[in-house]
Structure 1
Amino acid sequence: MKSLTLTGSRALRSLAVAGAAALLLAGCGGSDSGGDKAKSTDQAAASGGTRTVKDATGKAIEVPAHPKRIVTLTQEDLDAVLALGIEPAGITNGQGLNKPPAYLEEKVEGVPVVGNLLQPVMDKVIAAKPDLILAGDMQDEQVLKQLREITPATLVTMAPTDDWKLSLRGIGNAVNKLDAANKVIADYDSAAKKAGDELGKAKGSEVSIVRWNPDGPSWMENKQFASGIALDMGLKRPKAQDKDGNAHTPALSLEKIEEIDGDWLFLSTLTPDGEKALKDVQGKPAYKELDAVKNGHVTTVDGSVWSTRGGPLAAQVVLDDIKTALTAKQ
């Protein structure tokens, strides 16, 4: 693949504006600047050498110009590398799961599992022989130190406020596929607009996005992954949920359950206890009185997709879920 020119490009300048948390401004060793640095980077890439990138913490990391054995420690990292056409050498289980996330399971059949989400088993990581480790939003410095003893090319790929597009561009830069990452994002943007345009009468509806926990429901803020997909489609959030932020609220009591109402309600869980709590409340009057419930506009979705930080493949799942629900029940 043609190597990237890693200084002075419009794509990398836009990343710098988007936030220093991205994996930015790849270079290659030495103290060259400007065109000399870009030239030396291209030469290194062509010879199978190394490049230097900044991870999501701003740390400069030397990585292979064309990594061959990538280990991912989160499903967001896994989603990203699969979307870029890369087969990983090792993966972790999905969020709250003891296996890879269902929507990616077929794509990683036979790939070694090296631990649970952000909980790698070091012997298994070593056995995967990685030349690059994508460590998601790992904050445990001791674990990072151990990983960097396996390979110094270990990158934190997400800062707390990064969205999936910013993270994907950073990962694309780290694996020398930034152009491919930008194309994936452009294709998603087109797909989201097209899906929104095809919603018919439901276009512009208010969509409530809720995760049911053992102690009650939490709705998602606007910058949370699935919320962003709905907004990209031209949908709206209920007034009570129209809040900036990339997290979910504390669990609500039944007295505040009206906050989860909307024209359409998407419900997810992550654990068996959450599923039980949801089933229990579905028989109560407070739940039955929600407008979305009375109108038959409630859809149960996969929490291991909807409640994560997201990625391009997960984004397609959410797009399809929303479009299917809203067009089938008009």
Structure 2
Amino acid sequence: MTLLNRPSLSASRRAVRVLAGVGAAVLLAAGCGSGSGDDKSSSDTKRRTSSDATRTVKDATGKAVEVPAHPKRIVTLTQEDLDAVLALGLEPVGITNGQGLSKPPAYLKDKVEGIDVVGNLLQPVMDKVVAAKPDLILAGDMQDEQVLKQLREITPATLVTMAPTDEWKLSFRGVGNAVNELDKANKAIADYETAAKKAGAGLGESKGAEVSIVRWNPDGPSWMEKRQFASGVALDMGLKRPKSQNKDGNAHTPSLSLEKIEEIDGDWLFLSTLTPDGEKALKDVQRKPAFKELNAVQDDHVVTVDGSVWSTRGGPLAGRVVLDDIAEALKKS
């Protein structure tokens, strides 16, 4: 069984939540080159049409960054950025391992075969990044200024693509704009939303069911708030969250004690883990009476899912995986 959230990068992220009001929305503000006046018109035209043409966008922190008009060598430092780039039909030259993994995420395995891995999630190995010769680095929610400084020495076209409370659709549109493919990003979101509504409408008796989404940590379960990625997919399908989990936000709750385990109950219970210790803790609790007494357990409505997908900040490809997981489970009931 599996559950959801990014491990132990939380402290630095909480320290920068002031960025949340800025967010990836500023990535949608873009402009072509600068320059005004007739004496510059010829050179500006050449700049915009040549292979090294550039655009200026703002990243998720509000920083103006000059990026290639059509980047050719993209390095992604998070699973979410990788998901976004692949969904836009682009192939990066460098990627990092998946969340909680020592390899790329399994759901993207077929799409990243042969692409160089340049480090772990938000932990790039600088020599490997240099070797990839990037003309654009998508740095996810990187907040380590020293690391960002090193990345910008490799290429000034380094963007923070998400702020702590940004939802995946906003971040995805920002990445789409950064790589000059905003129209494709908007279409991908529209297609996903259409698919989610269709899948939700086809759930039969399970249509509108209450879905509990939980990650099991070594010290207990934590459920996801309504705007967390996987929860958002369920809501896009017309499903509901249990009343005990009907909390606005995009985080996970602190781990619950066994005395509060009823909070994770619902018509359906989707469970994931991210670490071997979490998996062991889940197996241990499944033998306890308190777990066995949950309605979802007694109804055989407990589903194990991939935490490296369900616990992420999300993207269009991950969204399809979660959508399919939910639809497949509920249709069998």
User: How far apart are the structure 2 equivalents of 1:96 and 1:120?
Assistant: 15
1:136 pairs with 2:140:
yes
1:267 pairs with 2:303:
no
1:255 aligned to 252, 256, 259, which one? 259
Partner of 2:153: 149
1:161 pairs with 2:152:
no
Deviation of the 1:30 alpha carbon = 2.2
1:172 pairs with 2:176:
yes
- Higher relative contact order (Cα pairs below 8 Å, separated by 6+ residues): 2
User: How far apart are the structure 2 equivalents of 1:267 and 1:116?
Assistant: 24
**Any idea what the Cα deviations from partners look like across 1:104-150, whole Å, max 9, x if unmatched?**
11110110000000000000000000000000000000000000000
Whichever residue aligns with residue 266 of structure 1, its letter is F
Superposition TM-score, scaled by structure 1 size? 0.90
CA contact (8 A) 2:23 2:163 kept: no
Superposition TM-score, scaled by structure 2 size? 0.90
User: How far apart are the structure 2 equivalents of 1:188 and 1:153?
Assistant: 29
The verdict on how the C-alpha distance between 1:43 and 1:168 changes in structure 2, with shifts beyond 3 A counting, is: farther
The verdict on how the C-alpha distance between 1:112 and 1:178 changes in structure 2, with shifts beyond 3 A counting, is: same
1:204 pairs with 2:176:
no
Partner of 1:70: 74
Partner of 2:113: 109
Deviation of the 1:32 alpha carbon = 4.8
User: How far apart are the structure 2 equivalents of 1:203 and 1:42?
Assistant: 55
In structure 1, list runs of 5 or more residues that go unmatched.
Answer: 1-17, 34-38
1:28 pairs with 2:32:
yes
Whichever residue aligns with residue 92 of structure 1, its letter is T
User: How far apart are the structure 2 equivalents of 1:200 and 1:300?
Assistant: 22
Deviation of the 1:25 alpha carbon = 1.6
Matching of residues 174-193 of structure 1 within 5 Å: 174-193=178-197
User: How far apart are the structure 2 equivalents of 1:97 and 1:68?
Assistant: 27
Partner of 1:120: 124
The verdict on how the C-alpha distance between 1:40 and 1:215 changes in structure 2, with shifts beyond 3 A counting, is: farther
Deviation of the 1:95 alpha carbon = 0.5
Deviation of the 1:40 alpha carbon = 9.4
Partner of 1:5: none
Partner of 1:47: 50
Partner of 2:98: 94
Deviation of the 1:47 alpha carbon = 2.0
Partner of 1:15: none
Partner of 1:246: 250
Q: How large is the RMSD of aligned CA atoms in angstroms?
A: 1.8
User: How far apart are the structure 1 equivalents of 2:55 and 2:45?
Assistant: 9
The verdict on how the C-alpha distance between 1:178 and 1:113 changes in structure 2, with shifts beyond 3 A counting, is: same
User: How far apart are the structure 1 equivalents of 2:23 and 2:242?
Assistant: 32
Whichever residue aligns with residue 304 of structure 1, its letter is S
CA contact (8 A) 2:214 2:224 kept: yes
Whichever residue aligns with residue 190 of structure 1, its letter is T
Secondary structure (helix, strand or coil) at the match of 2:32 reads coil
User: How far apart are the structure 1 equivalents of 2:130 and 2:22?
Assistant: 33
1:296 pairs with 2:300:
yes
Partner of 1:59: 63
Deviation of the 1:45 alpha carbon = 4.1
CA contact (8 A) 1:258 1:290 kept: yes
User: How far apart are the structure 2 equivalents of 1:268 and 1:45?
Assistant: 47
The verdict on how the C-alpha distance between 1:202 and 1:32 changes in structure 2, with shifts beyond 3 A counting, is: farther
Secondary structure (helix, strand or coil) at the match of 1:27 reads strand
User: How far apart are the structure 1 equivalents of 2:82 and 2:23?
Assistant: 22
User: How far apart are the structure 2 equivalents of 1:44 and 1:178?
Assistant: 21
Deviation of the 1:31 alpha carbon = 5.0
Partner of 1:229: 233
User: How far apart are the structure 2 equivalents of 1:40 and 1:258?
Assistant: 67
Deviation of the 1:207 alpha carbon = 0.2
1:217 pairs with 2:214:
no
